[in-house]
Every structure is written in structure tokens, then in C-alpha cells.
Homo-oligomer: A and B are copies of this chain.
């Protein structure tokens, strides 16, 4: 349970006369309550009241687990045969009839919004708490940063396992199976996202699907992966070569590396998110490959693998100490070559520190 962040949220609620906040995103519920769960289509909800105790609302079969988590306030459950919205309304009305209810408009479905609305027809539902929570999560505490550092260490371990599995004829899916196997045996429960291992021209698809393609001589092999460690995510990308690559491959690699290093060098409090994107994009465009860098420079990271802020052209957000995000330029030339290099980092007083330490000079495996 994160009482400090609950208090910060309540401060916003007091400032805006919000009586009640309904948190619906499972990641955000975990962030405030300490209870993490994927309820699928069932209802999992956290209600934070300005003047009364907060409560967690879960499917009946999770009440036991939720009560045993670090959450110190009440947990209420509902059976599959019950109407959860009616129960929620009763629980709220026991204490209050809120005048103003904030919801996570970027995480809540229209149907659920309408169902809650139905029980509180006179309440004002206009407030969107999503940007408030994004801002609460934006500046990480030292303890959060140290957990992200641990998650980063595990990503480095994962890369090392993957590099060892590279050999002629090894299939993408075999290499990724090896990585996840070794990690899960050591207690890593979930990857941050489906591990990517892409070889040869497959790496030219930024979100490709690993399959039965085998590593061949002179291939680039792209790894994009991360783990969830104590609720926090890592995310790293490295592109390495199997046997000597061509001069063209080396040229593309060195451009992406230059873009990544220059963008990391530019990270410090005061620069904007958009300016960082421009640093990397400027390098790649300068060499004439701008059209092949078809995504933003990076994204925030924390309890979810992609969170606020977005490092994208035009984003005027000013970077501050404690922000954590990825720097991941790439060049993807269809049917020819794909290179991406990515680290996630936290912003320090005068620069930044990456969560992942795997070297970035082109590695060639033989």
C-alpha cells in the first residue's frame, strides 16, 4: 500500500472538491493498494474517498488474497451471481452520497462508467483522474528507482542468456524460450511483454512476431524484452550480429547508436520530451534515414511498461529529476535491415542513469 501517494491524490481531491475517486485500471490499483491482480472481465475497483476510508472491491474469489496483501483498509467481494455495481453503490452510500466522482476516463469502459453513473444520477462525473495519476507516477521515489534498477538487472541477465543461445540454425522461438525459461526458473513471474527475438530481415519489422526463422550467417538479431520485478517493469533492446555483418549493416548500426547515445547525453532536467526526440531524429535524418525511424523516441516506464510521458515530436513536457523513460531510436528498412537500441533510465540532477548496462558497441558472435 502506498499511503503517501493516496494522500497526494486526496490533496488533489480536496483542491477540486472531489468526494470520491474510482480507480479501475489494475496497474493503478496495484500502485495505490499494493494488491495486483488481473481480474479479466470481472470487476476490480479501488474507491478513495475524501472524508471516509478507502476500500478495495474484488471478485469473491480474490478477497482472501487482497486481504493478505499490503492493503490495510477494507476489502469487499462479490459473487459471480451478484450485481457488482449494486453492491458498490450500497458500500458508497453507507458513508456518503458524493457530489463529485472522479473516474479514470482513459482506463474505464463506457459501459462501466454508465453503470456506476446509473446509481448516482445526481453526481458530477466530469472529472478525469487519469492525468492526475499519470503525474503522481511521473516522478519516481528513490525506492521505486532502486526497484526499476533491479528490473533492469534482470533484463541484462535475459540478454546474456539470449546472446549465449545464438548459433547458426537456432530459431527465434527457441532463443526466446531459453530466455524465459532461465528467468522463470529463477522466480521471474512475468515478462513485461511478449519477448521479441527477430533475426535477419524480420528485425526490420519493429513489432514483428518471432517464429521459426533460424539465425543465419551475417544476420542481425534483435532482442526486445523486459521483466516485471516487484511490480515494476524493465524494457531493453539490443541488436547484435551473428558472424561479420556487411558494411551497410554496420553503417546502419552506427547511426542508430550515435542517435541513442546523443539522446541519452541530452537527457537532463530542463530539456523537453520533444527536444530529446528531435536530437535522435536529427542524427538519423542527417544520414538520410529519417523515413525509416517511424516511431517516437521513447515512453515512460514504471508499474506499466508503457506509461506517461511520451517522448515524441512536439511534446513540451519539461524533463525533471526522477522521471523514468526509454530512449529507443531505430532504423527499419523493409526486407533489408532493422536495428533498434534501447535503454530505460532515470533522470538525475545533472543527467541520467540507465537501468540496463549491457554494452552497446556492436557485438559480433561467431
A binding-site residues for B, Cβ under 8 Å: 37-38, 40-41, 59-62, 64-65, 79-81, 103, 105-111, 113-114, 128, 130, 173-174, 176-178, 180-185, 187, 189-190, 193-194, 205-212, 294-296, 299, 305-306, 310, 312-314, 332, 334
**Cβ-defined contact, B80 with A295, below 8 A:** yes
CB-contact partner of A40 in B111, B180, B208, B306, under 8 A: B306
Chain copies in complex: 2
Could you say which residues of chain B place their CB within 8 Å of the CB of A81? 296, 312-314
* Contact A61 to B181, CB < 8 A, known contacts A109-B109, A189-B194, A209-B189: no
**Cβ-defined contact, B174 with A177, below 8 A:** no
CB-contact partner of A109 in B105, B181, B207, B212, under 8 A: B105
Could you say which residues of chain B place their CB within 8 Å of the CB of A181? 177-178, 180-181, 184
* Contact A194 to B190, CB < 8 A, known contacts A65-B207, A106-B109, A111-B128: yes
| CB-nearest residue of chain B to A210 | B189
Q: Which 5 A-B pairs have the closest CB atoms?
A: A177-B184, A181-B181, A80-B296, A81-B313, A105-B110
Could you say which residues of chain B place their CB within 8 Å of the CB of A174? 184-185
Could you say which residues of chain B place their CB within 8 Å of the CB of A178? 181
Q: Complex formed: what's the CA distance from A295 to B114 in Å?
A: 25
Q: Complex formed: what's the CA distance from A154 to B296 in Å?
A: 38
CB-contact partner of A207 in B37, B173, B299, B312, under 8 A: B37
Could you say which residues of chain B place their CB within 8 Å of the CB of A209? 65, 189
**Cβ-defined contact, A187 with B173, below 8 A:** yes
* Contact A61 to B212, CB < 8 A, known contacts A80-B312, A106-B109, A177-B180: no
**Cβ-defined contact, A65 with B106, below 8 A:** no
CB distance from A33 to the nearest CB of B (A): 16
Given contacts A79-B295, A110-B110, 20 further A-B contacts (CB under 8 A): A38-B193, A40-B305, A41-B299, A64-B205, A80-B295, A81-B296, A81-B313, A105-B109, A105-B110, A108-B110, A173-B189, A174-B184, A174-B185, A177-B180, A177-B185, A181-B181, A187-B211, A187-B212, A189-B194, A190-B194
